Structures are given as structure tokens and as C-alpha cells.
Amino acid sequence: MRDRLFTIMEDNGVEYEDNVLVTEIDSIQYMSLMVEIEEEFEIEFPDMFLGENIFENFDRLCEIVFGLVGEVA
């Protein structure tokens, strides 16, 4: 699952160094990432994550996404 998520980030031109985001994400990338992650993992991000920069740290992103996948499962 972690690899799938990493591939989505990479395919959208987003890079991490030691888990920390090094790309400045613009609004188009943000939109593209959010819908692709929702589609790939069959989840919906609740409001509480919309204000937060959930991409800042890759471990934290995994935690959020897998948490939501767990809720769905």
C-alpha cells in the first residue's frame, strides 16, 4: 500500500527526502493528488484533513490514508 501511495506522489511530480516533502505543491497538484488517492484507495477525505497539509510528511500521509482505508474496511 505504501508503494502504491508513493507511486501516486511520484507520478504527480512530488518528491520526498527522508520522508519530508521537498516539492512546493500547487493547487492543481493538490487537486490531482487528492482525487487520485481517493480513487485508488476507495476512500473520501473528511473535512478535518482539508485544511491541513497532509503531504508534508510521507509517514503522516500513510497514517492518514491507511486509517481511512481501515475505516472503510
Partner 1 sequence: MGYKLSKYLYEDEKEGYVFLYNTYKVDMLKIKKPLFEAIKENLSDIKENPENPVIAKLIEKRYLVEDSVNEDREGDLMYLKTCHSNKQLLLTILPTEGCNFRCEYCYEEHKQNKMSEETQEALIKFVRKNLKYYGGLSVSWFGGEPLLYPEIIEHLSEEFKKICKNFKKPYTAIMTTNGYLLDYDMFCRMKKCNVTNYQITIDGPAEVHDKQRFLAGGQPTYDKIISNLTDIKEKEKSKFYTFSLRTNLTVQSAKAYPKLAQFLKDNFFVDGRFTPRVRIAWNGTNDADYEKNIISDISSIFGEGSSLEQTQENLQKSMYGITDENALRKNFNEIMFAHYPCYAAKANSFIFGPDGRLFKCTVHFDDSKDGVAGYLKPDGHLEVNDTIDAKWITQMTAKDKGKCYDCKAYPLCQGVGCPYKMSVRGRRDDECEAKVAEIISTFRVFSSNEKICADVEEMLA
CA–CA separation, 21 and 23 (whole Å) = 6
C-beta of 29 vs 57, nearer to partner 1: 29
Compute the radius of gyration of the chain from its Cα atoms: 11
CA–CA separation, 73 and 52 (whole Å) = 24
Residues in contact with partner 1 by the rule CB under 8 A: 10-13, 26, 28-29, 31-35, 38-39, 44-45, 47, 50
CA–CA separation, 47 and 70 (whole Å) = 18
Question: To the nearest whole angstrom, how small is the minimum distance from the Cβ of residue 60 to partner 1?
Answer: 20
Question: To the nearest whole angstrom, how small is the minimum distance from the Cβ of residue 5 to partner 1?
Answer: 15
Question: To the nearest whole angstrom, how small is the minimum distance from the Cβ of residue 49 to partner 1?
Answer: 10
